[in-house]
Amino acid sequence: YAVGWFGESAWALRLPAVVFGVAALPALYYLGRQIAGRQEAFLAALFMALNYQYVWYSQNARGYTGLLFGVLFASILFIRLLSATTPPARLIVGYAIVAALSAWMQLTAAFVVLVHGLVWLALASKPNRAERFAAAFPAFLALLLTGVFTLALYAPLLGPGRGQVTDAINA
């Protein structure tokens, strides 16, 4: 979209990578604060910002920083889903949208959603199954919506019009 908005230029092609690369730093810091502490989160964000490969990926147009930002943000939302007793619907839908868009940018994000599903399964199978399952049901619903949204995003490539899409790409 950046090329469509700003014209065909190298900086317009790389703009999304830069934006997602910069946005991933506070996302990592926030996730680190949820998991560990303030100092660990700061060091993780600092080391990522100073990492040569990260800086390089933040200026190429392959979508890796979009993948990183998406999975960090989805993980933040997933932790919130699991920790809330009755999460609001916007949190459930928000996780599904962020995770599906991440998988749309880079299909590798589907593995992170799969791991979130395994975490949900481990929590739902604990003793006091009825209580734990009821608490984890919103996360299950979010994972299910993620699958639906991801399939909807990939539907143009999977359906009967697939030949038309690939013909247009190859033309």
Q: What is the tens place of the pLDDT at every residue in 83-119?
A: 887 888 999 999 999 999 999 988 899 999 999 999 8
143 Cβ contact partners less than 8 Å away, ≥ 6 residues apart: 96, 113, 116, 117, 120
Q: Tens digit of pLDDT for each residue in 34-62? A: 999 999 999 999 999 998 888 887 787 67
**pLDDT score for 154:** 87
Tens of pLDDT along 10-41?
666 677 788 888 899 999 999 999 999 999 99
Give the residue-averaged pLDDT of 130-145. Answer: 78
Instruction: Give pLDDT, residue 42.
Output: 95
- Read off the pLDDT of residues 162-171 as tens digits, 9 standing for 90 and up: 555 556 555 5
Quote the CA–CA distance of 120 and 115 in Å, as a whole number.
9
Answer yes or no: are the C-beta atoms of 113 and 103 closer than 8 Å: yes
Alpha-carbon dihedral sign for residues 4, 6, 8, 11: negative
